[in-house]
Structure 1
Amino acid sequence: MKQGLQLKMGQQLAMTPQLQQAIKLLQLSTLDLQQEIQNALDENPLLDQDDDSSIEQVNKEQDSSQVDTAEALTKQEFSDDLPADNNWEESYTPVQAASPASGSTNFDGENTVYQGESSASLQDHLIWQMQLTPFSDSDLMIATAIIDSIDDSGYLTTSCESIFESLVSEDNELELDEVQVVLKRIQHFDPIGVAARSTQECLQIQLRHLPEQTPWRSEALMVLDLYMDLLGNRDYRTLARKSKLKEAQLAEVMRLIQTLEPRPGNQIEDSQAQYIVPDVYVKKIAGQWRVSLNPDCNPNLSVNQQYADLCKGNISKTDSQFIKGHLQEAKWFIKSLESRNETLLKVSNCIVQQQQAFFEYGHEAMKPMVLNDVAFEVEMHESTISRVTTQKFMHTPTGIYELKFFFSSHVATENGGECSSTAIRALIKKLVNAEISTKPLSDNKITQLLEEQGIKVARRTIAKYRESLGIPPSNQRKQLL
């Protein structure tokens, strides 16, 4: 077989470092992007950030009705961050931190976040009360074990027998009755009903804590003690017949029970507020919806020209290669940020144009839209649209939404049109909010009401949308009052 050389021409996609960096920045959230920018500033001496631009001037430019979308991109791509507070040490007065249980103001180091009593966990709140209660050493040990077994909702997740077995030893001569006595004391800690072993016990503890002269207290205790299953199933007709209470009387009993808290642990807040920084703003200016980048998320980066000019001087080859390498990385990073901002603004503009009805009339007017629709409009790949809409948020006059919120599947209508699944969810929520509490709408009835509006949806689809909205079924929404 004779050997020879052949020349072939072909195309293939090469994942260059520049392309990899651009894709990485494109899919980062705002907070992750800020961290990535800070890392680049720390590692690359030829990358600089200017801190003397005015955010107020940028905002004025955004509000100008004479500025179109393209000009908004040019002026806002790399606006500076807020001026740094150089007088921090002069304005900050150190405050000695106190324990969360003390209820005094607590400062958390560099974040300087206020943490009052509400930021303490349920366990911290109970331990603080335990320390104020005159317990013996053995009771204190039992109380600590009980509090450790309480979940976030305020319920005891371990039986008294298990707690007793875990504490008893040759050195500790305990009795099961001691555990039960300590449990009774903790159940009257704040919030009342904590450490209950069931919803029934939790509500009974709260009722017994009320004054004896409270109207309908004894009847409510009787209902909770004998007919908890009927109460949970909202079978008020059978409940009224077995309890021998008239409808008006049962309504008063239910009104009293509804004032109780079935999850006492929810009264103690343990979570810090989570803040969302929007990537783009949408405002109606001169009758048109306009999109602009958030200037706080786009620092003004530039190349440090003083370091870059060192290449022209008399320096060693190693130093020259070091400067040239970091210079090229700085240019790539700035260009990748420009590409990210341009893509984000282009996709956001396309979403706003496609969903004009939503911005004018609300959720019920949402149009069905998929990633491919935007990809076709902006002439990009669908995977790029998926990356740029993930963990990116849009600030609108009606709230802050993730860009993926505007994408939804479609349902055919009787007149041959299409309805967005988001719009159907909004209609379901509207119908449920307007229903009569004593006769809630079933999934079949909601299906019929939507069909009257020309929207054909299967009952199981209605059930799926209802569950996604956190709306319970009709038998659980039924109220006697």
Structure 2
Amino acid sequence: MIQLVYELQARQQTTLTPRLQQSVRLLQMSTLDFKREVAEALASNPFLEDQEEGGAGQDSASGADNAKLDVEGSHDAYAHAGDLHEPDRDAAATNGMGDADSYDEAPEIQRIASAPVESRAYSGDYPATRQNSERNTDVGQWARAETSLQDALYANLCGFSLSERDKCLAFFIIEAIDDDGYLREPLTELADPAQFSPAPTQAEWEVALRLVQHLGAPGIAARDLSECLALQIEAMPEDTPARAVALRIVKDQLERLGRCDYQGMAKATLCSVEDARTASLLIRTLTPRPGRRYGAVDPSSYVIPDAYVRKVGKLWIATANNEAIPQAQINDAYARLFRKTRYDERAMMAQALQEARWLIRSLEQRTQTIQRVAQAIVARQQTFFDYGEVALRPLMLSEIAEELDMHESTVSRATSSKYLATPRGIYEFKHFFTRELATKSGGSCSAGAVRALIQEMIDDENPKEPLSDVTLADKLAQEGIMVARRTVSKYRAQIKYPPAELRRAP
């Protein structure tokens, strides 16, 4: 006989509604990603419009027309018409008061149309005069083209008379060069051998590589640092002092060069200590990343501050960067058309209108949350804005969450990829959250303050006798800050300072 046993278990599970999921996702986005998300919504959702464009012709009298907007099968009200905005042109078109031909042309179009033919000639590459009333500016009037490393190499390659096969090999090499100017992939893996008939040999790849290395600045298309420095030294005049010694050093003695071990370099390269020192000084004038001279700064690496910090009286306060906040609103013309549609045709439009309203509410909630978190951070880090990194106080996410009555995960999302513009520079919100370290006096200091102290000590050291990590730990102990030597090493690496032996002056 088989006996079946059933067991019931009770458990709690949190389920996020679609609206809450959207709010969480938008809160975690950076300002650039968020503006891109809103721009895509404005382009795809007919119920959304840019506030700058739609608010210019707002019809304030149209509010009495609309009481509430229904969604299919729902008794919830959408919005009062008095809270919505509508361009004059949309209002006239909807009410049947006119058509597109009845509207006046824009002032700029009228001015161009009425101007004599000869005055409308091509004005060259300079931007045309714009009226002060025009808000939008064509990006083509101020943007300039940047020449990339690959573009420069392609242009120089055109000056050589090459066969299609050799040109193809050079193209593959140029495309594989990274932003630093290095070719980090093996030559035989740059292209599928089946693309050539017959498959290129290693010698052919080497010849094409030597050609590309002579197209740009010396050091371009090097496969490692040693080859990069060697190419730059070989490009120098032969009568350059210590040129031959420097070439031998970069090929075999880079490790000793980093430690400023002149005795070891002199012994290994069969030269005098003075020649080794002169060659080392020559090597230090070279460029380890030759590709950087071509590339412009990637626009995506720029950050847009979410808030500004300024001083009012004796206190520092945070104010929202309104220019970075997308301005979206409900398009009243489409909303009123939605009211007039038949019930069986409203499902798709109702969903689009609901999504538009959710986006606007999420936008407002995101802005308020970031502003509150920014102000809470600034209020707790007043000394930082007065005295700098050494006055950075310990701060945890839980403290801000408790103060603002938020969940810690919400504060974490509100500080991710968000930036504060301060008189001392632009800082990420997370920069102000640092762990607490104990002191001899029983007080505490932040890890950020310790990093700032280590940086000051290294900046003030004697370059010929740099401070070791043990010495730095002892000096911090004299200041009452108890940290281990390995902690000092970790903080020194975080501020991107090399060890003492690599900081020693030549």
TM-score, L = length of structure 1: 0.73
1:347 aligns with one of 328, 353, 373:
373
Residue 404 (1) aligns with residue 430 (2): yes
Preserved CA contact (<8 Å) 1:437 1:478? yes
What RMSD in Å do the two structures reach over aligned CA positions? 4.2
Which 5+ residue runs of structure 2 have no aligned equivalent? 1-11, 57-105, 113-119, 126-137
Post-superposition Cα deviations, 1:318-355, rounded to whole Å, max 9, x if no partner, equal 46788777666555544433332222222111111100
Matching residue of 1:29: 30
> Which deviates more, 353-362 or 19-28?
19-28
In 2 relative to 1, CA 230–391 (structure 1 residues): closer, same or farther, beyond 3 Å? closer
Preserved CA contact (<8 Å) 1:446 1:462? yes
In 2 relative to 1, CA 381–93 (structure 1 residues): closer, same or farther, beyond 3 Å? farther
> Which deviates more, 296-305 or 350-359?
296-305
Aligned to 2:375, the other structure's residue is in SS state helix
TM-score, L = length of structure 2: 0.70
> Which deviates more, 150-159 or 255-264?
150-159
Matching residue of 1:268: 294
Alignment of 1:177-256 (within 5 A): 180=206, 183-224=209-250, 227-240=253-266, 248-256=274-282
Matching residue of 1:279: 306
Equivalents in 2 of 1:176, 1:15: separation in Å? 58
> Which deviates more, 446-455 or 86-95?
86-95
Alignment of 1:301-320 (within 5 A): 301-304=328-331, 316-318=342-344
In 2 relative to 1, CA 450–188 (structure 1 residues): closer, same or farther, beyond 3 Å? same
Matching residue of 2:51: 50
Equivalents in 2 of 1:277, 1:234: separation in Å? 42
In 2 relative to 1, CA 170–295 (structure 1 residues): closer, same or farther, beyond 3 Å? closer
Post-superposition Cα deviations, 1:381-411, rounded to whole Å, max 9, x if no partner, equal 1122112112222111111122122111111
Matching residue of 2:449: 423
Matching residue of 2:322: 295
2:466 aligns with one of 424, 440, 443:
440
Residue identity opposite 1:284 in structure 2: K
Post-superposition Cα deviations, 1:344-373, rounded to whole Å, max 9, x if no partner, equal 222111111100011111111111101001
In 2 relative to 1, CA 322–259 (structure 1 residues): closer, same or farther, beyond 3 Å? closer
Preserved CA contact (<8 Å) 1:164 1:175? no
Aligned to 2:497, the other structure's residue is in SS state coil
Matching residue of 1:358: 384
Aligned to 2:219, the other structure's residue is in SS state coil
Equivalents in 1 of 2:191, 2:318: separation in Å? 64
Preserved CA contact (<8 Å) 1:187 1:194? yes
In 2 relative to 1, CA 368–111 (structure 1 residues): closer, same or farther, beyond 3 Å? farther
Aligned to 1:132, the other structure's residue is in SS state coil
Equivalents in 2 of 1:232, 1:46: separation in Å? 63
Alpha-carbon deviation of 1:158?
Answer: 6.1
Equivalents in 2 of 1:164, 1:310: separation in Å? 58
Aligned to 1:425, the other structure's residue is in SS state helix
Matching residue of 1:471: 497
Alpha-carbon deviation of 1:375?
Answer: 0.9
Alpha-carbon deviation of 1:140?
Answer: 3.8
In 2 relative to 1, CA 428–394 (structure 1 residues): closer, same or farther, beyond 3 Å? same
- Residues matched between the structures, number: 424
In 2 relative to 1, CA 111–458 (structure 1 residues): closer, same or farther, beyond 3 Å? farther
Equivalents in 1 of 2:196, 2:28: separation in Å? 57
Alpha-carbon deviation of 1:42?
Answer: 4.5
Which 5+ residue runs of structure 1 have no aligned equivalent? 1-10, 55-84, 96-107
Equivalents in 2 of 1:18, 1:140: separation in Å? 55
Matching residue of 2:99: none
Matching residue of 2:181: 154
Aligned to 2:158, the other structure's residue is in SS state helix
Equivalents in 2 of 1:151, 1:328: separation in Å? 46
Matching residue of 2:89: none
Equivalents in 2 of 1:222, 1:311: separation in Å? 79
Matching residue of 1:98: none
Aligned to 2:498, the other structure's residue is in SS state coil
Aligned to 1:51, the other structure's residue is in SS state helix
Equivalents in 2 of 1:347, 1:297: separation in Å? 17
Identity level (%):
37
Preserved CA contact (<8 Å) 2:257 2:280? no
In 2 relative to 1, CA 146–304 (structure 1 residues): closer, same or farther, beyond 3 Å? closer
Alignment of 1:117-136 (within 5 A): 117=147, 120-121=148-149, 123-135=150-162
Alpha-carbon deviation of 1:378?
Answer: 1.3
Equivalents in 1 of 2:474, 2:395: separation in Å? 25
Alpha-carbon deviation of 1:442?
Answer: 1.5
Post-superposition Cα deviations, 1:116-135, rounded to whole Å, max 9, x if no partner, equal 32xx13x4333322221244
Residue identity opposite 1:349 in structure 2: Q
